[in-house]
Amino acid sequence: MVSLGTRPRKPLFLGGAVAGSSEELLDSMTEVSRHLLRLMTQCVDQLTDGEVSVTQYRALAALAQRGPRNASVLAEELVVGRPAATKLVDRLVRRGLIRRRKHPADRRQVILEVTDRGREIVRAVQQCRRRRLARVLAELDPSAREALVRDMPALLEAFAAGSAGSPGSRPPAKQAPSPVGAR
Is 66 inside a domain boundary?
A: yes
**For residues 59 and 55, what is the distance between their CA atoms, to the nearest angstrom?**
6
Dihedral over alpha carbons 152, 157, 160, 163 (to 10 degrees): -90
Q: Do residues 32 and 137 touch, judged by C-beta distance below 8 A?
A: no
β-bridge pairing 98-102 and 110-114: antiparallel
Question: Does pLDDT of 143 surpass 80?
Answer: yes
Is 109 inside a domain boundary?
A: yes
Is 178 inside a domain boundary?
A: no
Does the pTM exceed 0.75? no
Is 30 inside a domain boundary?
A: no
The predicted-structure confidence for 25-48, as pLDDT tens digits, reads as follows: 888 999 999 999 999 999 999 999
Assign 148 to helix, strand or coil: helix
Spell out where 122-183 has E strands: none
Nearest to 69 by CA among 111, 116, 114: 111
Our count of domains for the chain comes to 1
Percentage above 70 pLDDT, the chain = 77
